[in-house]
Structure 1
Amino acid sequence: MFGNVLENVRENEPIVHTITNHVTVNDCANIILAAGGSPTMADCKYEVEDVTSIANSLVINIGTLNGESTQAMLKAGKKANELGHPVILDPVGVGSSKFRDEFTFDLLKEVDFSVIRGNISEIKTIYKGSGTTKGVDADERDMVTDENIDETIDFIKELSRKTGAIIAVTGAIDIVSSSEKTYIIRNGHPLMTRVTGTGCMLTTVIGSFCGANSNNILEATAAAVCAMGICGELGYDKLEEVGGGTSTYRTYIIDFMSKMDSKILNGGAKIEIR
């Protein structure tokens, strides 16, 4: 189904330059390693261009913004564009503050993104130019359902057309789409929402998969979303066996990512293509 997407990550060990928030930085680094990549987490504006130059992809996560990090993100993004590296944006919490909104739209003007990954409220905010979020979580009124999925796909395809990026909306139902082709993905488990950073970790997995498959960004992104969801399912099954809680669950998600192979990925993917 996803061909050699995962094998390319394991074989090439892409360096993923990740400028992320300080809440999830350790988990993001660990899941990059588990996926088969190599993390570097430099966020100083004086070195991000050099670090980006030796990486294979760049992930920008705006979870904990400050004046220094915004400058670093802009410089790294422009350097990655210059080098032709995939750049992935995680617009955490966009819609929650004027500063965050203004910076997100500055980023979108200054940097060409290969992938934009967020929850439905974050993606709607980018699409509309304004919006609201429930902190870093999606507003329940925005949730993707079987009833509204067709209209959701329509606006996601339009956003992909406008930005030139693959759009990945994650939630109970995941959607990964270009302007022409859409993957609907139903992997994962609700308990994943009770672990801080699973979305951030997913974005870095996308960075790993895209770093090793830069000529196939749509399928690489869909494969990453499926892989993370499958890890959530397998991790929950293991959790039930041992009677563990959410901290143990986080560990199992990373564990199963490290054990992921093409057979597990292709066999477990629950997808529909439109």
Structure 2
Amino acid sequence: MSQTPGTLLAALRAEPPLVQCITNYVAMNIAANVLLAAGASPAMVSDAEEAGEFARIAGALTVNIGTLSAPFVEGMHAAIDGAKQAGRPWVFDPVACQATTLRRRVSAELVARRPTIIRGNASEILSLAGESSQGQGVDGRDDVAVSEEAARRLARESGAVVAVTGPEDYVTDGTRSARIWGGSPWMPLNTALGCALTGLCGAYAAVAKDGFDAAVGALAHYAVAGTRAHEGAVGPGSFAPRFLDALHAIAPEELDKEHRLRGHEGAPA
């Protein structure tokens, strides 16, 4: 039986997982704050000299290619080696993977290493699946609905759960699928909230028995927090602190009551 988002949140807070985040310079602070607010413990460890060793003690690893460099890539591969040796889940965020030759090459290398979860916007997922997209830089310009078939194919080919995020999120493992509603239009106007969501996927993966449940749980937590934070916010600036407060304040039973998702238990939604 699937684990509900609330069940996973309760497990996360009962024994806060250590989540190793190899993420970009823009996202480090907000990603750490999001994980702390949700109840997890973040560690921004990326240097190849220690990344593999650290991954063996972390509960999960997340890899984000937002600010690529050769040392970052070396650290990513070392950390993935360590996570795999320890049997830990890892999450891949293919930021702007369609933008340059380097990003396309590194993304293909990382997908081949079989992440537990791939989380990206629709443009990134289309690109990873070998299709054209309208993405420009880090901005996703394709609708989530357009990417759903590509996401299912990518999941089957990579072995990963694929989470496509946008105004309405879509999660699939190639067979099962779910859609999650919620959030706020202020979320895309706050830098690196998507990158921080990848970190939260890692936290949920650390306590879940199944990557599909982990992705659904993390996205549901984010969506409910975004919906709550939107109330009373007048713009992206006032939304940001309310969002962190909402992530922290949501109780497991409230998450199960307030989330809006469909298709979690059945065939593709």
TM-score, shorter chain, exceeding 0.5: yes
1:197 to 183, 192, 201: 192
Q: Cα deviations across residues 222-273 of structure 1 (Å, max 9, x unaligned)?
A: 011011011111111031xxx4x32331111111111121222112211110
Gaps of 5+ in 2: 264-268
TM normalised by structure 1 equals 0.91
SS in 2 for 1:183: strand
**Number of aligned pairs?**
261
Deviation at 1:211, TM superposition (A): 0.9
**Structure 2 CA distance, aligned partners of 1:199 and 1:156?**
17
Matched with 2:231 is 237
Identical-pair percentage: 30
Deviation at 1:88, TM superposition (A): 0.1
Check if 1:137 corresponds to 2:139.
yes
SS in 1 for 2:205: helix
Question: Runs ≥4 in structure 1, deviation > 4 angstroms?
Answer: 129-132
Matched with 1:272 is 262
Check if 1:219 corresponds to 2:213.
yes
Check if 1:64 corresponds to 2:43.
no
2:9 to 6, 11, 19: 6
Deviation at 1:154, TM superposition (A): 3.0
Q: How does 1:66-215 map to 2 (within 5 A)?
A: 66-109=69-112, 111-128=113-130, 131=133, 133-139=135-141, 142-145=142-145, 152-213=147-208, 215=209
Deviation at 1:73, TM superposition (A): 0.4
**Structure 2 CA distance, aligned partners of 1:13 and 1:163?**
29
**Structure 1 CA distance, aligned partners of 2:205 and 2:255?**
16
Matched with 1:24 is 27
Residues 171 and 36 of structure 1: CA distance in aligned 2, closer, same or farther (over 3 Å):
same
**Structure 2 CA distance, aligned partners of 1:84 and 1:126?**
25
**Structure 1 CA distance, aligned partners of 2:138 and 2:124?**
9
Check if 1:42 corresponds to 2:37.
no
Residues 71 and 132 of structure 1: CA distance in aligned 2, closer, same or farther (over 3 Å):
farther
**Structure 2 CA distance, aligned partners of 1:263 and 1:216?**
20
Deviation at 1:131, TM superposition (A): 5.0
One-letter code aligned to 1:191: W
SS in 2 for 1:238: coil
Contact 2:95–2:124 under 8 Å retained in 1:
yes
SS in 2 for 1:4: helix
Contact 1:125–1:132 under 8 Å retained in 2:
no
Contact 2:115–2:159 under 8 Å retained in 1:
yes
Aligned CA RMSD, in angstroms, stands at 1.5
TM normalised by structure 2 equals 0.93
**Structure 2 CA distance, aligned partners of 1:18 and 1:99?**
21
Gaps of 5+ in 1: none
SS in 2 for 1:190: coil
